[in-house]
Homo-oligomer: A and B are copies of this chain.
Amino acid sequence: MAADAPERDWSAAEAEIMEATYRALLEHGYAGLSISRIAAELGKSKAAIYYHYDAKDELLATFLEFAVDRFEATVATETGDEPTADLEHVIEKLLPLQPDEEQRQLQAVLVELRSQAVTNEVFREQFTRIDDRLAAAIRDIVERGIDEGTFRDVDPSRVAEHVLATVNGAMYARATTDRESAAAATRVSLASYIDSELRRHP
C-alpha cells in the first residue's frame, strides 16, 4: 500500500451504511438514489444516515472512499507473489474480461458518479484521490518487479499512468457504448504492452 494513501478505519455503523449505499446504487442507479432508498436497504430510519452524513453527495463521496479502501484491501490480500501475475490481477479487477451483471452495474454507476466530477468539486477531489491511489497500486507492483529483476528498468509512474488510462478508457467505453469486443481487444493489447514494455526477454 502506498504510504501517502492510508486506509481509514470504518466503524461498523458506517460500513453498514456503505454496504446499503452500494446495494441501493446497484438497484436504482445514480439518478434513482435517495437517502430513503439507502435507509430502506439499511433497514433503519433516514435519521440513522443523517446522523453520519449531512447530504447525499457527502455520503456518495464517502462511498467512493469506502469502495477504494475495499478495492485496495482485496488487492493487498490477493497479490504479492509475482509482479506480472499481480499486474494482471489488478487489471482484471478494474476491467473484468467477462464482467457479471453486478460488475457491469457497478461500472455504470461509477461512470455516472464520475461525470458529476466535471462540475462538482467534492466529487472531483474524490476521483483525483481514487486515480492517485489506483496509479500508486499499479506503480508499487511495477517497482517491485524492477527491484526483483523481473521487469526492465522502466519509469514506473509512466507505465502506471498508461495502464490506468487504458483501463479507465475501456471501462468507460464499456459503460457508454455497445462495442463489446473493444474491451476484450484492449485487454489483449494491454497484456502485449506489459510484455513488451516490462518483461525481460532472456
Which A residues have a C-beta under 8 Å from some C-beta of B? 29, 31, 108, 111-112, 114-115, 117-119, 123-125, 127-128, 131-132, 135, 157-159, 161-162, 164-173, 175-179, 182-183, 185-186, 188-190, 192-193, 196-197
Contact = CB atoms under 8 A, between A and B. Distances in A.
A2 to B, nearest CB: 15
Given A29-B119, A31-B119, A165 B176 contact: no
A169 to B, nearest CB: 3
B128 A178 contact: yes
Contacts of A172: 114, 168-169, 172
B176 A124 contact: yes
B176 A190 contact: no
Contacts of A114: 115, 172, 176
Contacts of A115: 111-112, 114-115, 176
Task: Please classify the interface of chain A as helix (H, G, I), strand (E, B), loop, or mixed, using the class held by over half of its residues.
Answer: helix
B189 A158 contact: yes
Contacts of A128: 177-179
Contacts of A171: 169
Contacts of A108: 118
B111 A162 contact: no
Contacts of A31: 119
Contacts of A123: 176
B185 A158 contact: yes
A138 to B, nearest CB: 12
A127 to B, nearest CB: 5
